[in-house]
Each structure stands twice: as C-alpha cells, then as structure tokens.
Amino acid sequence: MNSEKENIPMALIEHYFAIGKYTNVIPLVKQRMAEDMENKELWYKLAVSHYAIGQYEEALEPFHRAFQFGYDKGVIYYFLGRIYMATEQWQKAEESFLEAVHNNPNDADVYSAYAILMKMTGHRKKGSLLLEKALALDPNSTVVLQLYSLTEMTAKKEKHNNALALYMNSTDSEFAKLIHLGWSADFHNRFKEAREYYRQAFVIKPEDKRILSNLEELEINTHPLLLPNRIVERLGGIGFVLMIWIILCILLDKLISNDNFVNHLLRFSIFFTLYYFISIPIVKGLRKWKSLK
C-alpha cells in the first residue's frame, strides 16, 4: 500500500508553488509532512505559502522550523523581516534584515526591503542609499523594482511613471502587477481605477485575504460621508487645514467688527474637527450594520 508521502509527489508541490497556488500547496505539504517532518524544503514552502496569502502568524513557526532544519538563514531572516514589517514590529523587522544582510551580503531583495523599512520609520536618506545598493546589485529583480516603484509613488509624476514602467516591464506575475497598480491608483486618489485592479486580482486569487481587505478599505475611504475627509487630505491634512482656518479667523477678527461671524467660524472649525475624527468609525459601523441586515 502506498504511503501518503508517495501519494503526494514533490513535483506536484513544486508545480503549485511555482505558479503561486499557495492554498493548494499548504494541504499538500502538510499531508506529505506526515512522514517527512524534518524536510527543510517542505517547511520553507509551507511558510512562504502562508506568508504569500497574508497569513503572517501561521507563517512564523514554519519559517523557524525551516531554519532549525538547516534552510538558508539569510532567506529565513529576510521573510521574517517582511512579516515583522507588515505587522509594524519595527525593531524586530530591522534586527531580521540586519541578520539577513549578514548572512547574504549580496542579496538585492534584502537591501530593498530594508530600504522600505527605513523610509517607513523616517530614515529616508538611509532608505535611499539602501535602495541604490539594491538596484546596483540586481537591477532586474522583481522585488527590487516593485519596492523601488513603491518608494517613488510620492515623487514627481515623470519619476514615478518611470519607476512604475520599470516594474511593469519586469517578469513579475500578472497578479502582483495588478495589486501594485491598485496601490498606485489608490495612493493617487484614483479610487475607481484602484477598485478595478483589485477586482481583477481577486479573480486570479480569490483566496488572498489582502485583496478583500484592500477593497473594503477602498469602499470605506470612498464613502460619500467621507468626502470632507478626502478634501482635507488633498489640501494637506487636518493639521494644515486647521492652522489655515485659525489664521483666517484671526485675520477676520481684526478686519471685521462682527464678533458673531467669527464665533460661528470657530464653532464650525470645532464641529468639523470632531466630524473628521468620528466619521470613519461611523462609516465602519454603518457597513457592519448593513452586513447584519
């Protein structure tokens, strides 16, 4: 009688892993593991599969087990850094990336991910230097080009478009490119376009929970009740708008003798600030209430 290990050929697992069908990989790996618990490749593929579909907690133990059984330390630390960065555990993320660099000093993907972490935590100059090193090490890496395009989303239009074009001409998957285009459109307030990219990506990988999360967040951000919030963000944020509003009130107070008018403006600013901060919880509550009906 054939064992389960024989029933699940490694070639089948490799095939699903290579084409990104991670929800197929997970049960197959677990089934084969019944008789091959110390196989570092299986633990690694299980970990990456969980990571790839946004199941970060589930990915941690398999990565540690792959490390325990001798998988490349630099690769494991790189993925741990990505997980900690995604879950906003900044110190753990940096420690992991430093270990990854120590073990694989010429890995461009590690430098590019570390660069993103530095930019996210306010160390923009160091982030730029790390990204330059990553591009020098491997200018064709899909990971490097994707992260480079992400960092240039705030740049001038021409520079952003050039970085985006480099990534779109890379060998990355159609799914990854659709997600990236969705991020770019969302960041530049092209919400209808972003929604369409996410929907196309969902057709390819309906099991990826992050797409539904992106669509839900997009639906919240584009809600009619949040129109004032979107206007404020385009003007520079609530802090900037309030500062301008207060300066305007002070100037009008000196120019106009009508105290009631200025008082009304001040009351409006207080009301608007309150609305800005409570409107998102209200919209989320309304969506939850509608889903329960």
- pLDDT in single tens digits along all 293 residues of the chain: 344 445 678 899 999 999 888 999 999 999 999 888 999 999 999 999 999 988 999 999 999 999 999 999 999 999 999 999 999 999 999 999 999 999 999 999 999 999 999 999 999 899 999 999 999 999 999 999 998 898 888 778 888 889 899 999 998 889 989 999 998 988 888 888 999 999 999 898 887 777 888 887 787 777 778 778 778 877 778 888 888 887 877 777 777 766 677 677 777 878 888 887 887 787 777 666 665 55
Residue 142: name the closest of 169, 170, 100, 166 by CA. Answer: 170
Q: What confidence score (pLDDT) does residue 6 get?
A: 53
Q: Where are the domains of the chain?
A: 234-292
pTM above 0.75, yes or no: no
Residue 104: name the closest of 137, 141, 70, 74 by CA. Answer: 74
Q: How far apart are the first and last CA of the chain?
A: 53
154: which 2 tokens? 């705030």
